[in-house]
Amino acid sequence: MDSLPHSTDAPLPTSTEVLVVGGGPVGQTLAVALRARGVDATVVDQQAGPADTSRAAVIHARTLEVLTDLGVNDELLRLGLVAPRFTVRDRDRTLLSVDFGRLPSAHPYTLMISQDLTERVLTDRLRQLGGRVHYGVQVVDVKQVTDHVVATMEDGRTVRASYVVGTDGMHSTVRAQAGIGFPGTAYAESFVLADVHLEWDLPTDETQLFFDADGLLVVAPLPGGRHRVVAPLDPAPEHPTRDDVQAILDARGPQRTPASVREVVWGSRFRVHHRLADRYHAGRLALAGDAAHVHSPAGGQGMNTGIQDAVALAGHLSALVDDDTRQGDLDAYEAERRPVAASVLTMTDRLTRLATTRSRPLQMVRNAGLRVLDRIPAARNAVAMNLSELGTDPNRSRARS
């Protein structure tokens, strides 16, 4: 990709219509969608520069749909890897195979692409629209005045904005400044995440979820011949080695033709939280993405739900910028998106608890149930609709009712 050069010397404006705090995929999507509507949006991020690790690695059909009008899909598709199938296995035995090919969408697949590439595509589009991410800028205080918001940076600079949106993650400064609660819990287990080069005989264009008595294992394809490996492990190593990942694959992966890890490209550990913001806005402050909801990575829903938040919020904010009396638009945004996040939290929590149960009787019931579902086309289609997040589209819901 011929990425435009990253500039760090562009001055931070003293005023803007919408200040977006957080320059990840959600914040950049919001800024792109706002600028495409003619709204002056400024993005700040406390990190020193763009992401250089893969992290979130899947874009679902519904997300590609909402991104259609933003001018980024062609490049995402060029850089990503199309994965048309999701398979659940008990070691060598297939329990459930979900084919996305029949989804009622122009994108009947999942797109596997690392988060750093997704951000680069969004950054290039943002710059084409006259915007940029101001890195190394940390917001420490946000004060609402009658008709605007004043955001203060760590170095004392201030930005006046009509509205401020927090896309700044689980530890959101904007959410804290807005006084919005973020109840929930963390799962007990830690997780290993690693991008690897491996040799194995299973298809290289589908995501595999393995269930085993020792715990789950996800192996998903990435561009460039890499695979993403995710597995709960307590305690998980902070920097998983080749031997660490190989031991997980040996214990939980295919047995007849075992996988062999050649190299770990990047790895880390993380803990999974399950939280939902009490509200999605307070006055002129709004939330999107992980600032509003965090949940298990089961199904790869996190970034996707956040990007969909951003596109929806852009429509409401652009209306508000045009007519400041339309304060009900932020209520409409919350009414539209918070139930979606609640549904995703419920689904991912069930998937995680189902996949990580250590009870052998429950594992046997789970596996038998999945084999039954695999024989019912309507059930497989329902799973595909939920994983792709097409099931959260209100227009499709109304069409089915």
How many degrees, rounded to 5, is the angle at CA 60 between CA 67 and CA 6? 55
CB neighbour list of residue 135: distance below 8 Å, 6 or more residues apart = 8, 23, 45, 47, 48, 49, 50
- The Cα–Cα gap between 300 and 303 comes to 8
CA–CA gap between residue 331 and residue 328 (Å, rounded): 5
pLDDT beyond 60 at 305: yes
Helices (H), 67-138: 73-79, 115-128
Which of 63-72, 189-198, 295-304 tops mean pLDDT? 63-72
For every residue of 193-221, DSSP letters joined together read: EEEEEEE-SS-TTEEEEE--TT--EEEEE
Percent of the chain with pLDDT strictly greater than 70: 95
Average pLDDT over residues 147-167: 97
Termini Cα distance of the chain: 43
DSSP assignment of 337-381 equals HHHHHHHHHHHHHHHHHHHH---HHHHHHHHHHHHHHHT-HHHHH
- Band of pLDDT at residue 400, cut at 50, 70 and 90: very low
Residue 339 preceded by cis peptide, ω within 30: no
> Domains of the chain (ranges plus CATH)?
15-57+114-182+277-355 (3.50.50.60), 187-272 (3.30.9.10)
The reply to whether the predicted model has a pTM over 0.85 is yes
Per-residue pLDDT, 215? 79
pLDDT at res. 108: 96
Q: Please say if the pLDDT value at position 7 is more than 60.
A: no
pLDDT band at 395 (very low <50, low <70, confident <90, very high): low
Give the up-direction half-sphere exposure of residue 178: CA atoms within 13 A in the CB hemisphere: 26
Query: Measured between alpha carbons, how far is 171 from 293 in angstroms, rounded to an integer?
Result: 11
Residue-wise pLDDT for 164-203, tens only, equals 999 999 999 999 999 999 999 887 778 899 999 999 999 9
CA–CA dist 188, 197 (Å, integer)? 29
- pLDDT for position 5: 40
How many other C-beta atoms are found inside a 10 Å radius of the C-beta of residue 146?
A: 6
What are the distances in angstroms from CA 359 to CA 192, 214, 215, 240, 365?
22, 10, 10, 27, 10
Across the range 326-340, mean pLDDT stands at 93
Rounded to an integer, the average pLDDT of 86-103 is 93
What mean pLDDT is predicted for residues 80-87? 95
- pLDDT of 75 reads 97
